[in-house]
């Protein structure tokens, strides 16, 4: 009889990548505390179950073949303080509202995937931050250090990884409660959307909302089983950046004997850590989860094909998602040749657009922001590129919050540079607020409906 490997032997198996270059890791100052924290993490129960992870892979396979659409969204950087019932509820609510609109627009199932319950670690362009004549380590996300600009707060503290685990667990628990316990009832979500379009600023979306209304009335009339529509599938994801966290959360599934990252259903590799010979690509090449890779405007076809060979050698449907983040001014030139090259190789990864990270600007008054119109422009470029090449535009990846923050410019509320200061809360990149997120969903739905007519 074969013996089940213990978590320890699993970890040993995953030490392989340790000799490889690991970019964007914190400089821990207390090695013993790192050993303690990772040992503590290795003892904690998994946050997700391998069966759910497999189910998400199947759903993503459908999206890669044009039979489903992915909506991935949430904070740029979740914070421990932000893991409150209200904020989690508002984000889940926003994603559910967007999903209903997109489902109607795409006439296909929408896979809901939060950038939630573990999106705590951030890559930074500089290792340090200087204010006046003081230089301190950069903020790398709550799972590494604090945002306050003091030496104590900015020092990397491994115990934060354990807190990150518990915060992810309580966030995921509430997500599961909301999405299984009746909060996600389709009729209720639609009522929220009716509230959104009743605002005079959003009048242009009224006719689409009215169409959805008629569809729901039709379903009621024919006696559709609404008890089934009280719950919904909702998956979670984050950037697998902090290796000292991801490694102990990677375990062998007792059912299949295969390694899974049990900290999220889906994990992705960022634009800054996707080196073919780097530790991040190596670690994720070994897990069974569906995984993503961000691709910026400078990526070439060869690199994309090598990433496919390394991360998805079996060309398994749903395994690999390419999340392109080119910038509104580059996508129409950069994306089509990439799509062609990958298509011609016979590979069918899921193609998703992140219209946020290529469109960052800094205002003269010092705010990191993005223009809603640039985000929409990149989205349109994404659909155009796929139409041109004959590949499937499989989903969107956005940074959003359910709160009424003022971090991105524009939208129907016309947030301008002066307004940014009123409620700018992000510790990292600017997020679409509740209204802007819904507007984006309505506009993408319009795009999808016109494509299918
Ligand atoms: C992010 O998604 O927050 C991020 C850092 O993206 P990218 O790796 O594409 O820059
Ligand atoms: Co970001």
Full pLDDT tens readout for the chain, 453 residues: 333 434 443 454 455 566 899 999 999 999 999 999 999 999 999 999 999 999 999 999 999 999 999 999 999 999 999 999 999 999 999 999 999 999 999 999 999 999 999 999 999 999 999 999 999 999 999 999 999 999 999 999 999 999 999 999 999 999 999 999 999 999 999 999 999 999 999 999 999 999 999 999 999 999 988 888 899 999 999 999 999 999 999 999 999 999 999 999 999 999 999 999 999 999 999 999 999 999 999 999 999 999 999 999 999 999 999 999 999 999 999 999 999 999 999 999 999 999 999 999 999 999 999 999 999 999 999 999 999 999 999 999 999 999 999 999 999 999 999 999 999 999 999 999 999 999 999 999 999 987 766
Ligand 1: which atom is nearest the Cα of residue 76?
A: 3
Residue that is written with structure tokens 């299949």 in the block = 256
Torsion-angle region of residue 138: left (phi > 0), alpha (psi -120 to 50) or beta? Answer: beta
Q: Which ligand is located closest to the Cα atom of residue 239? A: 1
Q: Say what the pLDDT of residue 207 is.
A: 94
How confident is the model at residue 2, as a pLDDT?
Answer: 37
Centre of ligand 1 from the C-alpha of residue 8, in Å: 31
Topology of domain 7-452, CATH: TIM Barrel (3.20.20)
Return the SS3 of 163: helix
Query: Which ligand 1 atom sits closest to the C-alpha of 354?
Result: 9
Pairing of strands 320-324, 291-295: parallel
Q: How far apart are CA 61 and CA 421, in angstroms?
A: 42
Ligand 1 centroid–CA 380 distance in Å is 20
Token pair of 426, please? 């992000």
Q: Which residues contact 370 (CB under 8 A, 6 or more apart)?
A: 356, 359, 360, 361, 408, 409, 429, 430
Burial class (CB in 10 A: 0-12, 13-18, 19+), 153: middle
Ligand 1 nearest atom to the CA of residue 119, by list position: 3
Does residue 294's CB lie within 6 angstroms of at least one atom of ligand 1? yes
- Ligand 1 mean position to 75 CA, how many Å? 11
Which atom of ligand 1 is nearest to 115's Cα?
Answer: 2
Give the ligand whose atoms come closest to the C-alpha of residue 124: 1
Give residue 241's Cα distance to chain centre. Answer: 13
| Cβ–ligand 1 contact at 77 (below 6 Å) | no
Closest residue by CA, ligand 1 atom 3: 76
Sequence-distant (6+) residues with CB within 8 A of 98 are 71, 73, 437, 438, 440, 441
| Cα 8 to Cα 199, 251, 253, distances in angstroms | 56, 9, 13
Say if ligand 1 is within 6 A of residue 83 CB: no
Listed in order, strand segments (DSSP E) in 258-333 are 259-261, 266-269, 291-295, 320-324
**Which ligand 1 atom sits nearest the alpha carbon of residue 272?**
8
The pick from 119, 126, 271, 427 for probing ligand 1's pocket by mutation, whose C-beta has the most ligand atoms within 8 angstroms, reads: 271
Q: Whose CA is nearest to atom 8 of ligand 1?
A: 270
Give me ligand 2 centre to Cα 96, in Å.
Answer: 21
Q: Is 76 in the pocket of ligand 1 (CB under 6 A)?
A: yes
Is the CB of 270 within 6 Å of ligand 1? yes
The reported pLDDT for the residue numbered 453 is 61
Alpha helices in 181-325, H assignment, sequence order: 186-197, 206-221, 243-246, 279-285, 301-311
Instruction: Residue 139: count other Cβ atoms within 10 Å of its Cβ.
Output: 20
* 361-388 exposure pattern, b = at least 16 Cβ within 10 A, e = fewer: eeeeeebbbbbbebbbbbbbbbbbbbee
Question: Which residue lies with its CA nearest to atom 9 of ligand 1?
Answer: 271
Atom of ligand 1 nearest to the CA of 323: 9
Determine the Cα–Cα distance for residues 32 and 47; give it in Å rounded to an integer.
25
For ligand 1, atom 6: residue with the closest CA: 270
Identify the nearest ligand to the CA of 293 by its number: 1
Whole-angstrom distance, CA of residue 139 vs CA of residue 121: 9
**Residue 307 and residue 276 in contact, taking contact as beta carbons nearer than 8 Å:** yes
The full set of domain ranges for the chain reads: 7-452
């Amino acid at each position: 009889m074969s013996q089940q490997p213990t978590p320890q032997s699993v970890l040993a198996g995953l030490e392989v990548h340790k000799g490889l270059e690991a970019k964007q890791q914190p400089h821990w100052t207390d090695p013993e505390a790192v050993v303690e924290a990772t040992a503590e993490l290795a003892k904690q129960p998994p946050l997700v179950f391998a069966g759910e992870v497999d189910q998400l892979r199947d759903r993503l396979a459908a999206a890669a073949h044009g039979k489903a659409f992915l909506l991935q969204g949430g904070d740029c950087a979740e914070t421990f303080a932000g893991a409150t019932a209200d904020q989690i509820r508002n984000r889940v609510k926003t994603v559910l509202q967007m999903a209903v609109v997109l489902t109607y627009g795409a006439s296909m199932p929408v896979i809901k995937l939060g950038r939630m319950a573990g999106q705590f670690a951030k890559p930074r362009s500089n290792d340090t931050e200087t204010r006046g004549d003081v230089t301190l380590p950069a903020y790398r996300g709550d799972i590494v250090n604090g945002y306050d600009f003091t030496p104590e707060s900015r020092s990397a503290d491994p115990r934060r990884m354990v807190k990150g685990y518990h915060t992810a667990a309580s966030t995921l628990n509430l997500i599961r409660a909301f999405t299984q316990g009746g909060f996600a009832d389709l009729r209720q979500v639609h009522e929220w959307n009716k509230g959104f379009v009743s605002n005079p600023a959003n009048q242009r979306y009224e006719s689409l909302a009215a169409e959805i209304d008629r569809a729901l009335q039709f379903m009621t009339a024919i006696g559709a089983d609404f008890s089934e529509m009280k719950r919904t599938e909702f998956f979670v994801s984050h950037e697998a950046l902090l290796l000292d966290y991801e490694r102990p959360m990677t375990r062998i599934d007792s059912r299949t004997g295969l390694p899974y990252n049990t900290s999220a259903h889906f994990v992705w590799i960022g634009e800054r850590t996707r080196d073919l010979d780097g530790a991040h690509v190596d670690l994720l090449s070994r897990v069974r989860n569906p995984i993503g890779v961000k691709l910026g405007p400078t990526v070439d076809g060869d690199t994309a094909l090598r990433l496919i060979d390394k991360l998805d050698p079996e060309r398994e449907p749903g395994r690999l998602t390419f999340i392109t983040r080119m910038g509104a001014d580059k996508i129409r030139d950069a994306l089509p040749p990439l799509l062609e090259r990958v298509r011609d190789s016979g590979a069918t990864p899921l193609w998703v657009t992140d219209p946020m990270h290529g469109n960052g600007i800094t205002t003269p008054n010092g705010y990191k922001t993005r223009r809603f119109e640039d985000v929409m422009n990149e989205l349109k470029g994404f659909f155009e590129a796929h139409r041109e090449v004959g590949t499937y535009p499989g989903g969107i990846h956005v940074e959003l919050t359910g709160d009424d923050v003022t971090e991105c410019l524009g939208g129907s509320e016309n947030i301008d540079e002066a307004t940014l200061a009123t409620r700018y809360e992000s510790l990292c990149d600017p997020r679409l607020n509740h209204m802007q997120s819904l507007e984006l969903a309505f506009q993408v739905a319009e795009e999808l409906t016109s494509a299918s007519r």
